[in-house]
Copies of this chain bind each other. A is one copy, B any other.
Amino acid sequence: MSKCNKLGIGLAGFGTVGSGVWNTLEKNGALISERTGKGVSLAITKILVRDPKKSRSTTSAVPSEILTTHWKDLVNDPAVDIVVELIGGTTDAFEIVAAALLAKKPVVTGNKALLAERGVELFAISRKMETPIFFEAAIAGGIPIVKTVQDSFIGNQIHSFTGIINGTSNYILEQMTLRGIDYPTALQEAQSLGYAEADPALDVNGWDAAHKAILLATLAYGFPIDPANIHVSGIEQVRPTDIRFAKSLGYVIKLLAVIRERDGGAVELRVQPSFISHKHILASVNGVFNAVSVNSDAAGESLFYGRGAGQGPTASSVIADLVEAARDLAHTSHHRGFLPYRESGTLVPIEETSTAYYVRFDVTDRPGVVAEIATVIAKHKIGISGTHSPVDASNPDAEFVDMVFLLHSCPFGKLTNALAEIETLNCINSTPVVFRIENLG
């Protein structure tokens, strides 16, 4: 491994994760070298920053001469062997990653949005230049799910993934569940604790999880997936009343990413708040933790659990990728597992995906309402397993109330047809809220 005894790392971005990579290499660099039989020595040789004068909270001083504000310095510097992209977003990050690959410098990134939105373009460049992109940090922070799917499960057909892969949403739902607080309060608390960004949109609207799910699905099934073609809903509509009602039935509400291969190879991919049995192991994934459950033909059922974000866990994944990139540079082959290995594949339209459902209607409280709704549901041949009006104890005479229907499993398209018709009833005051009831076995 003589060529790669000492490798220079160029960091694009020096925020939380970048500082974590710096600190961890500082702390454990000698251990990494020892563990690789002195085969790999990593040193950060260039850092792209916005403001070189900003004070940094690293465990050792960063020499000012390695800072730059021009991204081309990173790519062009001959002392940079590997580029780590940590600036986020899908425009500047795209330029940097593409330029690095074109310069035959392997890229390590944690940018799930970039890969989910523009991965097809980037992996085409990667293939053409025979230069790999590593992205363990892009899915579930410190959980090595990318390597597990790419390498450890390479002999398996993967039947499904079920993942809790957005820690912010999971934290908010847990606080709502434990303390009965409402969504705006829980979100505000999460923000003040640093568990949610000032702009929490991508986290709470499900798209952060969806980007990760797209990457997981592409890893497992090998074809590119257009974000425009998947069904995503977030946790903004979850109310304390939903959580209480779920609990009374033995469920907890989690933001789930579900990826499932059908017979014939079509793939179902969706992200939404879902009821799962409180006894299922995923129900005990709390706080900002993430978990991905995998079902595959040889390995069977397995689950990977850990911190989904944060400085240390994400740095841990970046460094694992750096070591792999370093080994890779010492080799002649740049084969990188299986992403993507097919040109196209079939996504299951969301209308054809079936589960049971929890539907909350905002109705005008008068006799006949349940019968009117139930009649429409019956007309669409959907079974009802229960109805319930979770009366607001503080306001028992409210004119507008919530009416919950639990529906048997049916295709989502059938449900939306029924709901479209129900919405025209004059007892209905707003768009019904739908959550999935997942039978996780």
Which residues in A have some Cβ–Cβ distance to B below 8 Å? 1, 20, 24-25, 27-28, 31-32, 34-37, 39, 136, 142-144, 147-148, 151-157, 222, 281, 284, 289, 296-307, 310, 312-313, 315-317, 319-320, 323-324, 327, 330-333, 335, 337-338, 341-342
Contacts and interface: CB of A to CB of B under 8 A. Distances in A.
Nearest to A280: B284
6 contacts: A142-B298, A147-B147, A296-B316, A300-B310, A303-B305, A305-B305
Given A152-B147, A304-B304, A298 B281 contact: no
A155 B297 contact: no
Nearest to A305: B303
Given A327-B335, A332-B331, A333-B327, A299 B305 contact: no
A43 to B, nearest CB: 14
Contacts of A312: 297-300
A136 B152 contact: yes
B1 A156 contact: no
Contacts of A332: 330-332
Task: Determine which residue in A144, A148, A319 has the highest number of CB atoms from chain B within 10 A of its CB, and name it.
Answer: A144
Contacts of A32: 154-155
Nearest first, the 10 closest Cβ-Cβ pairs linking A and B are A302-B306, A155-B319, A144-B152, A35-B338, A142-B299, A298-B316, A299-B316, A303-B305, A298-B312, A331-B331
Task: Determine which residue in A35, A310, A312 has the highest number of CB atoms from chain B within 10 A of its CB, and name it.
Answer: A35
Nearest to A1: B333
Contacts of A151: 144, 147, 320, 323-324
Given A27-B297, A316-B296, A323 B155 contact: yes
